[in-house]
Amino acid sequence: MGPSVEDHAGAVRALRAQYQALPRSEPVRLAKRTSNLFRFGRPDTGPGLDVSAFDSVIYVDETERTAQVQGMVTYERLVDETLRFGLMPLVVPQLKTITIGGAVAGLGIESSSFRNGLPHESVLEMEILTGDGRVVVARPDNEHAELFRAFPNSYGTLGYALRLTIELEPVQPYVRLRHRRFDNAAACFAALDELCSTGRDGDARVDFLDGTVFHGRQMYLTIGTFTDTAPWTSDYTGQEIYYRSPSRRPIDYLTVRDYLWRWDTDWFWCSRAFGAQHPLVRRLWPSRYRRSDVYHRIVGFDRRHRLSARLDKVRGRPPQEAVVQDVEVPVRQGPEFLDFFLGEVGITPLWLCPLRLRDPVPWPLYPLKPDDLYVNFGFWSSVARRPGQAADFHNRLIEARVDALGGHKSLYSTVHYPREEFWELYNGPAYAAVKGEYDPDGRLPDLYDKCVR
For position 40, what pLDDT does the model report?
61
Residue 402 CB burial class (10 angstroms; 0-12, 13-18, ≥19): buried
Cα(333)–Cα(189) distance, integer angstroms: 9
Alpha-helical regions (H) of 117-263: 145-150, 185-198, 256-260
User: For each successive 10 residues of the chain (453 residues), what is the average pLDDT?
Assistant: 87 95 84 70 67 95 97 97 98 96 96 97 98 97 98 96 98 98 98 98 97 96 98 96 96 98 97 94 95 92 84 85 96 98 97 96 92 96 94 96 97 94 97 98 94 86
Residue span(s) of the chain under CATH 3.30.465.10 come to 5-171+436-451
Cα(225)–Cα(206) distance, integer angstroms: 6
**What crossing angle do the helices spanning 185-198 and 334-344 adopt, rounded to 10°?**
140
For position 138, what pLDDT does the model report?
98
With contact defined as beta carbons under 8 Å apart, do 197 and 170 qualify? no
For position 410, what pLDDT does the model report?
95
For position 305, what pLDDT does the model report?
84
The CATH-assigned architecture of domain 306-416 is 2-Layer Sandwich (3.30)
For position 47, what pLDDT does the model report?
64
For position 3, what pLDDT does the model report?
87
For position 300, what pLDDT does the model report?
87
Comparing CA positions, the residue from 51, 53, 61, 63 lying closest to residue 22 is: 51
For position 382, what pLDDT does the model report?
94
Residues 6+ apart with CB under 8 A from 397: 344, 345
Sign of CA pseudo-dihedral 320, 211, 275, 296:
positive
Cα(260)–Cα(72) distance, integer angstroms: 19
DSSP 3-state helix, strand, coil percentages of the chain (rounded to 5)?
A: 35, 25, 40
The per-residue DSSP string of 43-60 comes to ---SPEEE-TT--SEEEE
With contact defined as beta carbons under 8 Å apart, do 75 and 99 qualify? yes
Residues 6+ apart with CB under 8 A from 164: 68, 69, 70, 71, 100, 101, 104, 123, 125, 126, 127
Tell me the C-alpha to C-alpha distance, in Å, between residue 59 and each of 2, 64, 73: 7, 12, 12
CATH number for the domain formed by residue range(s) 5-171+436-451: 3.30.465.10
Residue span(s) of the chain under CATH 3.30.70 come to 306-416
Cα(216)–Cα(185) distance, integer angstroms: 7
Q: What is the dihedral of CA 432, 434, 436, 438, to 10 degrees?
A: -150
Q: pTM here?
A: 0.95
With contact defined as beta carbons under 8 Å apart, do 220 and 246 qualify? yes
Question: Which stretch of DSSP H or E encloses residue 222?
Answer: strand 218-227
